[in-house]
């Protein structure tokens, strides 16, 4: 309905006393909240419990590890090598853990060998529905550290020590999530 005189916006103008905050329609609505006439009874009041959806945008930076994840998205497994002592890491490292010098990136072969494995019957919430699954540490000749990953294509319910030393090939998810799980291994 049109009104001849518009209401003034609810805000403080110069040289004016503060006005009330704007009232919105999105407050919490509770029904039947009892309130005693005798205030002495308030201490016995049951707590008011509210339920409401909660959502956050979680922003996480990979920082100087970013090239590793860009590699996974492009079907490449990247390791790092110390520019001074030559120590080779199967993981992203900006600086050498041994001598502290800067590291360079290099491409790891896509075929490695199982150094050891474990069958997981429990996991964090994200992986719980996939249990049991097999985790492996992958080794490469001339690379000084190991790479933790999933082994697919073996039966977790029939683990075998013959898996140790087995050649495995890296596979990459076509739809990258930019997570370490973008890569997994299968028997080569
Ligand atoms: Zn070094």
Residue 2 falls inside a structural domain: no
Residue 35 falls inside a structural domain: no
Residue 12 falls inside a structural domain: no
CA distances for 93 relative to 16, 70, 98, 136, angstroms: 60, 15, 11, 20
The one-character DSSP state at 102 is B
Label residue 67 exposed, middle or buried (CB < 10 Å: 0-12, 13-18, 19+). Answer: middle
Q: Quote the tokens at residue 181.
A: 């799980």
Give the predicted TM-score (pTM) of the model. 0.72
CA distances for 127 relative to 42, 152, 159, angstroms: 46, 14, 19
- Write out the residues surrounding ion ligand 1, Cβ under 5 A: 82, 84-85, 87, 96, 98-99, 101
Tell me the pLDDT of the chain (188 aa) as tens digits: 444 555 555 566 666 777 888 877 777 777 778 888 999 999 998 888 888 888 999 999 999 999 999 999 999 999 999 999 999 999 999 999 999 999 999 999 999 999 999 999 998 888 899 999 999 999 999 999 999 999 999 999 999 999 999 999 999 999 999 999 999 999 99
Distance (angstroms) between ligand 1 centre and the Cα of 115 equals: 23
What pLDDT is stored for residue 6 in this prediction? 57
What pLDDT is stored for residue 1 in this prediction? 44
Distance (angstroms) between ligand 1 centre and the Cα of 81 equals: 8
Distance (angstroms) between ligand 1 centre and the Cα of 98 equals: 5
Distance (angstroms) between ligand 1 centre and the Cα of 83 equals: 7
Domain count, the chain: 1
Residue 33 falls inside a structural domain: no
Query: Structural domain of residue 156, as residue ranges?
Result: 63-187
CA–CA dist 94, 103 (Å, integer): 5
Residue 51 falls inside a structural domain: no
Residue 8 falls inside a structural domain: no
Residue 156 falls inside a structural domain: yes
Contacts 24+ apart (CB under 8 A), 173-180: 176/69, 176/72, 176/73, 178/62, 178/69, 178/72, 178/73, 179/69, 180/72, 180/148, 180/149
What pLDDT is stored for residue 62 in this prediction? 96
Q: Quote the tokens at residue 82.
A: 């110390």
């Amino acid at each position: 309905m049109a009104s001849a005189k518009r209401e003034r916006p609810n805000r403080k103008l110069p040289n004016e006393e503060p006005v009330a905050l704007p009232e919105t329609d999105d407050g919490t609505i509770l029904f039947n909240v009892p309130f005693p006439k005798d205030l002495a009874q308030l201490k016995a009041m049951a707590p008011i419990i509210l339920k409401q959806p909660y959502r956050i945008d979680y922003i996480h930076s990979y920082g100087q590890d970013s090239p590793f994840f860009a590699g996974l998205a492009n079907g490449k497994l990247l390791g790092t090598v110390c520019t001074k002592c030559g120590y080779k890491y199967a993981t992203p490292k900006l600086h050498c853990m041994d001598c502290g010098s800067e590291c360079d990136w290099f491409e790891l072969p896509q075929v490695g060998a199982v150094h050891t494995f474990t069958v997981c019957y429990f996991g964090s919430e994200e992986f719980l529905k996939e249990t049991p699954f097999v985790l492996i540490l992958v080794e490469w000749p001339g690379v000084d550290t190991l790479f933790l990953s999933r082994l697919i294509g073996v039966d977790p319910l029939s683990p075998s020590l013959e898996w140790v030393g087995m050649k495995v090939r890296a596979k990459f998810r076509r739809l990258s999530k930019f997570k370490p799980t973008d890569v997994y291994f299968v028997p080569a």
